[in-house]
Chains A and B, each alone.
Chain A
């Protein structure tokens, strides 16, 4: 059952799209295969061509309109330009954030598994653009097997002289260090990622100072997502115009969509940005599992506000459109829920996740996430009161925007919007409760 194509997709002719981040090439993770397919040519061009200097690379990335893929959609070129001028002798760092741990998000893993050299090349170009000598590739600790893969790929790159001292015979030298996380979602937050790298407890830092001013060990640092950096070699080889022409105008480029939940074909799919949610569910994802009706979509990882099925009409996967529809793009890892889903149980699972992952630094988040899970659990188990629903919204008010990092917001949004948008289900469960107050 395919819905009529009455809405225009910003992704253009996506059915004939040729994948670039995860191209259909066998054994691309092997260095020779990657190089045979034009790999590391962007790096060679950047290092050797007269045309490129650090400034022009940054300008090219700016012109491409690339926005960060880690969830906040911050313009990457702009972020790079925040780095202060080079001071001789003072180190500068890049962190490549591969700590994706949000339910529904698993795109970086695919990149690191199938195209690790593209990520390395992106890191090298970014290091060149910002005159950085060390990049820490922070990979989620649960990805133990994938870390073995990328360590192998990294060793190959070092052996081929693509990393280390005097890369490709030039005087440019840079290093990549792979760092394993220890299983904490909070380490994906950029400042706590730095704390974790420094060997400390991963408590997010207050901003300002921003990482570009005082980052790792107090030195200028930039943090980019794996997918963001993987886009950089493509921009350099094909030009910013080519990149900017892909997908939605305000949110350009190829995008890795993660599909999960009650659909026939879950997985990671590369398409231009700005895909219609309905296209993703009914065409890319092969439709709802068992022919059920759609109930809810969480478009960008578990922390973004869930949408009702009737809210997704004509909504495309880019920042503007989703914001208008009352949600967010996040990491574009979509959770699809069918009509048989109990939204209270769904929310219980989500709140449990955030209560478990709150680092406990700030009061509203530490105490609030625990309280939310208590209330939602009680409602789910049939002991809820109708007044609990207002209390949940009240607690969200007390948490949002009151903490050092955005984890409290990420924990509060799903609660606020699940309760608001699926209130009848919560009320029904509360009314069945023996404690119900009519």
Chain B
């Protein structure tokens, strides 16, 4: 293996790598702005400078020349090199800011240059707190500035498109955004205009920055120049908690971080996963966050009373009502409707419940909208877990089939789905039938017919697994707290987050942001217990272990193997309607 000496330490490397990426892979910090691993290397920010050289070789013998101490003589390049564009070579010596004062000085000079025209917006800037310029200026920059002139003024709020707002003064011209539109999304909607110190990115005349992936430039912008029109000035980074989970807007399972403040989702940003979404996500996924906050049930579980209205009930009463319904109903008269919106664990428990009560196995509806996908991160299938249902062996039904199933049943048990909104059945089809409903939002059409309505935790409130369209099983982690205490959820929440959800003693705390709902895997177990059936698991991870042992497709898929990157199922689940 060829060897490179970075700060006098030897490292073996695979040929073809660049110095900066190699250092980052090795955990060595080098400041940089314009470099992004997914895009071309322009080497224009000039921040990642290093001193590099090769051992001097005798021209005739090819032997490395040594000095009096026997150490090899190094011929350093006359200029400092940008490590992002520098190819690693066998025997190369690289000195970074840790070992070379010249390099440290050059990086300091460069940061001083970067900051002279950068506005002092940090106190009001969205990027402050997670800003590469701020962080690296503190770490590698000069103590102060020697600039005594008026900074260059540029447009402060340019509406580049419907979703992205530019603050041109903050821009450091790294060209990440223009390269994104050239190389990643291919829309070519951004370009740099003007020259010299008045440069900034904008759209060509007469066009608007409205491509479906436009908001990714906000994440890759190393300063606060490109901001989300929606999120701008809404929350500071240190007021929010970030939870690594997945987006449930489409069947792609895009890896995301949910940003939560006071138990409301404030924005969704993509998280890197090379197997799924690389670094990106579609704008529609990102702006989907409102459904986790709006139209949520505020009354807890409800049971239909004698006069036909839904009346708030205690959880135990509601659960007993469901258990009684399960026990009373004759075998084969209960229809269980699984859901591509619910997790693998929830659907599995529903299948077990159907089995234990002696009813037909649950079926599920697909939510495919033909032609709505773009072949990349937007898929035709609008539900996140159809592949998971299929992998469990659950049968997919067409709307017509579902209608006939419903007609035959006395009780319809619906898990986190809305077959009316999906156009499969109408509310008239439910006349005279008892409906048990696990639901997320008050817009669910079945609420008008539900005998018992149980608010279920949404994807951002629960622990679970979803299988994406490519057959990769990925974990959901709770970003929002629910009102009741659940040990599994609390353990997944981590230690820092409960603080940011506030307590009733915090002035800004709003109790209504915590929804009185429970995860379906919790409800189903308790309903089974009340009905005298044996369906008890210690935790969602125990459910998954059980699935891994019993369902071949999920062989060796556990919470540990999924981790943050997901685990590929052993069988192909991509067939079907996706």
Chain A residues within CB distance 8 Å of chain B: 184, 186, 201, 203, 206, 355-364, 366-371, 374-375, 378, 391, 397-398, 401-404
Q: List residues of B (470-525) whose CB comes within 8 Å of A's CBs.
A: none
A168 to B149, CA, bound (A): 63
Do A363 and B80 touch across chains, with their CB atoms under 8 A apart? no
- Chain B, residues 149-177, CB within 8 Å of chain A (1/0): the string is 10010000000000000000000110100
Q: Contact: A359 with B196, CB < 8 Å?
A: yes
Q: Separation in Å of the A427 CB from the closest CB of chain B? A: 19
A116 to B112 Cα, complex, angstroms: 48
Q: A206-B85, A401-B80 are in contact. Are A357 and B196 (CB under 8 A)?
A: yes
In whole angstroms, what is the CA distance A362 to B45 when docked? 6
Known: A363-B46, A398-B106. 10 other contacts (CB 8 A): A201-B191, A206-B42, A356-B196, A360-B197, A363-B113, A368-B113, A370-B152, A397-B109, A398-B110, A398-B112
Say whether A359 contacts B43, CB under 8 Å: no
Contact between A402 and B49, CB atoms less than 8 A apart: yes
Q: Is B310 an interface residue (CB 8 A)?
A: no
Interface residues of B in 550-576 (CB under 8 A from A): none
> A360 and B195: CB pair below 8 A?
yes
Q: B79: CB under 8 A from chain A?
A: yes
Which residue in B46, B173, B194 is a CB contact (below 8 Å) of A364? B46
What 6 A-B pairs have minimum CB-CB distances, sorted nearest first?
A: A398-B109, A360-B199, A367-B113, A370-B197, A358-B196, A401-B79
In the bound complex, do residue B116 and residue A206 qualify as a contact, i.e. CB atoms below 8 Å apart? no
Which residue among B46, B82, B109, B175 has the maximum number of chain A CB atoms within 10 Å of its CB? B46
- Within 8 Å by CB of A366, from B78, B80, B147, B173, lies B173
Interface of A is mostly: helix
Nearest A-chain residue to B196, judged by Cβ: A358
- What's the nearest-Cβ distance from chain B to residue A104, in Å? 21
Residues of chain B with a CB closer than 8 A to A186's CB: 195
Residues from chain A with Cβ under 8 Å of B114 in the complex: 363, 367
Question: With A and B bound together, what is the CA distance between A355 and B79 in angstroms?
Answer: 23
A370 with B192: CB separation less than 8 A = no
Q: Which residues of A contact B146 (CB under 8 A)?
A: 391
Quote the shortest CB–CB distance from B105 to chain A (angstroms): 9
Is A403 a contact partner of B195 (Cβ separation < 8 A)? no
- A398 CB contact (under 8 Å) in B85, B113, B197: B113
A360 x B113 contact (CB < 8 A):
no
Can you report 27 A-B residue pairs in the complex whose CB atoms are below 8 A from each other? Answer: A206-B42, A206-B43, A355-B196, A358-B196, A358-B197, A360-B197, A360-B198, A362-B44, A362-B45, A363-B44, A363-B110, A363-B114, A364-B46, A366-B196, A368-B113, A369-B196, A369-B197, A371-B113, A371-B147, A378-B149, A391-B146, A397-B109, A398-B113, A401-B78, A401-B79, A402-B80, A402-B109
Residues of B within 8 Å of A391, CB to CB, are: 146
A-B contact count (CB 8 A): 95
For residues 173 through 232 of chain B, which have their beta carbon under 8 Å from a beta carbon of chain A?
Answer: 173, 175, 191-192, 194-199
Select from chain A the residue with minimum beta-carbon distance to B80: A402
Min Cβ gap B184→A in Å is 18
Complex Cα spacing A203 to B49, Å: 20
CA separation between A403 and B46, bound complex, in Å?
Answer: 7
Point out the residues of chain B lying under 8 angstroms from A356, CB to CB: 195-196
A355-B46 contact in complex given A367-B114, A367-B116, C-beta closer than 8 Å: no
Please determine whether A358 and B80 come into contact, CB atoms closer than 8 angstroms. no
Chain A: which residue is nearest B106 at the CB level? Answer: A402
Majority-rule SS of B interface residues = loop
Are the CB atoms of A360 and B194 closer together than 8 Å? yes
Contact with A along B102-130 (1 / 0, CB 8 A): 00001001101110110000000000000
Q: Is the CB of B173 within 8 A of A374?
A: no
Tell yes or no: B41 within 8 A of A by CB: yes
| Interface set, chain B 329-348, CB cutoff 8 A to A | none
Q: Closest CB-CB distance, B140 to chain A, in whole Å?
A: 13
B97 at the A interface (CB under 8 A): no
Check B195 against A362 for contact (C-beta < 8 Å): no
Say whether B385 faces chain A, with CB atoms less than 8 Å apart.
no
Q: Which residues on the A side are within 8 Å of B117 (C-beta)? A: 367, 370
Complex Cα spacing A366 to B116, Å: 11
Chain B residues with CB under 8 A of A404 = 43-44
Q: How far is the CA of A401 from the CA of B196 in the complex (A)?
A: 18
Give the distance in Å from the alpha carbon of A375 to the alpha carbon of B172 in the complex.
Answer: 22
On chain B, the number of residues with a Cβ less than 8 Å from chain A's Cβ atoms is: 36
Q: Produce 1/0 per residue, B21-49, CB < 8 A to A.
A: 00000000000000000000111111101
Q: Is the CB of A364 within 8 A of B113?
A: yes
Q: Which of B64-97 contact A (CB under 8 A)?
A: 78-80, 82, 85
Tell which of A203, A355, A357, A369 touches B44, judged by Cβ atoms closer than 8 Å: A203
Chain B nearest CB, measured from A375 CB (Å): 8
Q: How far is the CA of A361 from the CA of B146 in the complex (A)?
A: 22
Contact A366 B197 (CB under 8 A): yes
- Please, how many angstroms separate the alpha-carbon atoms of A374 and B196 in the complex? 14
A368 / chain B contacts, CB cutoff of 8 Å? 113
Complex: chain A residue closest to B111, CB-CB: A363
Contact B173 A361 (CB under 8 A): yes
Give the residues in chain B near A366, CB-CB below 8 Å: 113, 173, 196-197, 199
User: How far, in Å, is B417 (CB) from chain A's closest CB?
Assistant: 51
Looking at B110, B113, B114, B146, which has the most chain A CB atoms within 10 Å of its CB? B113
Which chain A residue lies CB-closest to B87?
A: A208
Q: Which residues of A contact B78 (CB under 8 A)?
A: 401
Q: Give a binary string over B368-403; 1 marks a CB under 8 Å from any A CB, 0 the rest.
A: 000000000000000000000000000000000000
User: With A and B bound together, what is the CA distance between A407 and B175 in angstroms?
Assistant: 19
Complex-state Cα separation, A377 to B106, whole angstroms: 26
Q: CB-CB < 8 A to B42: which residues of A?
A: 203, 206, 361
> Which among A358, A374, A398, A401 is the interface contact of B195 at CB below 8 angstroms?
A358
Q: Are B46 and A402 in contact (CB under 8 A)?
A: yes
B152 surroundings in chain A (CB, below 8 A): 370
Q: Which residues does chain A contribute within 8 Å of B82, judged by CB atoms?
A: 206
Contact B149 A374 (CB under 8 A): yes
A355-B197 contact, Cβ under 8 Å, with A363-B110, A402-B49 = yes
CB-CB under 8 A from A360, the residues of chain B are 173, 192, 194-199
Closest partner residue, chain A, to B44 (CB atom)? A361
CB pair A362–B46 under 8 Å, yes or no, is yes
B46 — which chain A residues lie within 8 A by C-beta?
362-364, 402-403
CA A355 to CA B192, docked complex, whole Å: 17
Smallest CB–CB gap between A422 and chain B, Å?
Answer: 23
* Shortest CB distance B32–A (Å): 12
Q: Which residues of the other chain, A, contact B49 by a CB distance below 8 angstroms?
A: 402
Residue of A nearest to B49 (CB): A402
Chain B nearest CB, measured from A339 CB (Å): 32
B147: shortest Cβ distance to chain A, in Å?
6
Shortest beta-carbon distance from A167 to chain B in Å: 39
Write out, one digit per residue, whether chain B residues 47-59 have a CB within 8 A of any chain A CB (1) or not (0): 1010000000000
| Closest residue on chain B to residue A377 by CB atoms | B149
Q: Mark B128-148, 1 if CB is under 8 A from A, else 0.
A: 000000000000000000110
Which chain B positions have C-beta within 8 A of A397? 109
The 8 Å CB contact of A371, one of B80, B110, B116, B175, is B116
Write out the residue numbers on chain A whose beta carbons fall within 8 Å of the beta carbon of B175: 361
Please measure, in the bound complex, the distance between the C-alpha atom of A398 and the C-alpha atom of B46, giving whole angstroms: 11
Report Cα–Cα, A363/B117, bound state, in Å: 11
Residues of B within 8 Å of A203, CB to CB, are 42, 44
Residues of chain B contacted by A398 (CB below 8 angstroms): 106, 109-110, 112-113
Of B42, B44, B149, chain A has the most CB atoms within 10 Å of the CB of B44
Taking each of A355, A362, A375, A401, which has the highest tally of chain B beta carbons within 10 Å of its own beta carbon? A362
CB distance from A368 to the nearest CB of B (A): 6
Task: Give bound CA distance, A391 to B116, whole Å.
Answer: 14
Task: For the complex, give the distance between the alpha carbons of A375 and B41 in Å.
Answer: 33
Residues of A contacting B109 in the complex (Cβ-Cβ under 8 angstroms)? 364, 397-398, 402
Tell me how far the C-beta of A360 lies from the nearest C-beta in chain B, rounded to whole angstroms. 4
Contacts of A363 in B (CB 8 A): 44-47, 110, 113-114, 172-173
The chain A residue sitting closest to B149, CB to CB, is A374
* Complex contact B195–A184 (CB within 8 A): yes
- Bound complex: CA A201 to CA B200 (Å): 13
